[in-house]
Amino acid sequence: MKSEELRGSISIDGMTKDDAIVYLMRCYGEEIKRLVYTFVKNWQQAEDITQDVYIALYTKLDTFRGESALKSWIYTIAINKSKDFLKSWSYRKLAFTDKFTANSTGSVDSAEYGVISKSEDELLYQAVLSLPIKYREVILLHYYKEFSIREICGLLKISESTVKTRLSRARTKLQGSYIHLGGERNGKKT
C-alpha cells in the first residue's frame, strides 16, 4: 500500500456530495467490502454493511474535516458498523441457530472439518477468520490492510500498548489455530 494512500491524500474538495460518494465508492468500495467480510464472514451481511457505511458517509460528508485522513475515516465507520452488527441480536441469533441447525455449509466455521485437502493458504485464511474478533481485527488491520500500530490506535480508539499486546497474543493464537487446523502438517515444519 502506498504511503500517501495511507495518509488519505485523496481529496474530495470541491465535489458535490453525489460526486464525492461515487468517487469514494470507486476508491474504497472494493477494499471496504472485503474488510467487512473478514469481520462478519457472510457476503449478504457484508453487502448490507458496506451499503450502510456509504450511506453514513453520505450523511456525514458535510461534517468531514479535511485534516483527518479520509481513508482512516472510512475505515473507522466500516469497523464500527461491522462491530455493531457482531454485537447485534440478529447476529447472535444467527450464530446460535447455526450451532443447532448446522446450516452454515461452506462457512469458515464448518470448514474446520475436512481440512486434509486444503492448501496452506486456505488454512491460514480459516485460522485468521476463526480468531476472536479483538485479535482478528488487529491482525487484519496490521497485516492485511497494512496500517501501522499508531494508525490502528486511532482506528480502534485504544492505546498503543494495547494494540501491541493484542497483536502479540493474536499472533500466538493464530499460530495455534493454524497448526490445529492442520497447517504445515500440524506444525512440524514451523
Partner 1 sequence: MEKKLKDLRQTLDQQISTNPVFTKKDEENILLSIRNSSFNKKAGKKKNIFLPKLLTAALFAGVVFTSYTLIDTYLEPQTMPDIKKENKKPKVHYAQKLTQASSTLSFEVSKRELTISGTVVNTTNYNSEPVQAKVNILDEDVAKALGAESLIIETPTNQILKPDESYTFKKVVTVDLGIIDENTFKDAVEVEIYSKENILTSFVINDITYLSKEEKEVESQEENTSIEEKNVESTDTPDNTIINEEVLEEPIEELAEESAIVEKPEEIKEQKKTPFDKVNVSYQGGKYYFNGVTTEMTLEETVKVLGLYDQKYISEIEYDAQSTYSWKTKINDSPPYEFLSINYMNQDRAFTLSFHLKKKERDALIQQLGKPYHIHERSESVYFYSESSNQLLDISRGIADSKDLYSVDLRIKDDPSYLKDFK
CA 166, CA 139: separation in Å to the nearest integer?
9
- Judged by CB, which is closer to partner 1: 51, or 67? 51
State the minimum distance, in angstroms, from the CB of residue 51 to partner 1.
5
Q: Which amino acid is at 115?
A: V
CA 174, CA 185: separation in Å to the nearest integer?
15
Residue with grid cell 454485537, as numbered in its chain: 87
- Judged by CB, which is closer to partner 1: 140, or 181? 140
CA 62, CA 87: separation in Å to the nearest integer?
29
State the minimum distance, in angstroms, from the CB of residue 154 to partner 1.
18
State the minimum distance, in angstroms, from the CB of residue 38 to partner 1.
7
- Judged by CB, which is closer to partner 1: 21, or 115? 21
- Measured CA to CA in angstroms, residue 159 lies from 30, 31, 76, 156 at distances of 29, 25, 16, 9
Site residues (CB under 8 A) for partner 1?
A: 18, 21-22, 25-26, 29-30, 32-34, 37-38, 43, 46-47, 50-51, 54-55, 58-59, 83, 86-87, 89, 92-97, 99-101, 103, 121-122, 124-125, 128, 132-134, 139-140, 143-146, 171, 174-175, 178, 190
- Judged by CB, which is closer to partner 1: 38, or 70? 38
How would you label 48-57 residue by residue, b for 16+ Cβ within 10 Å and e otherwise?
A: ebbebbbeeb
114 sits in the region (left: phi over 0; alpha: psi -120 to 50; else beta) called left
- Judged by CB, which is closer to partner 1: 70, or 166? 166
State the minimum distance, in angstroms, from the CB of residue 159 to partner 1.
16
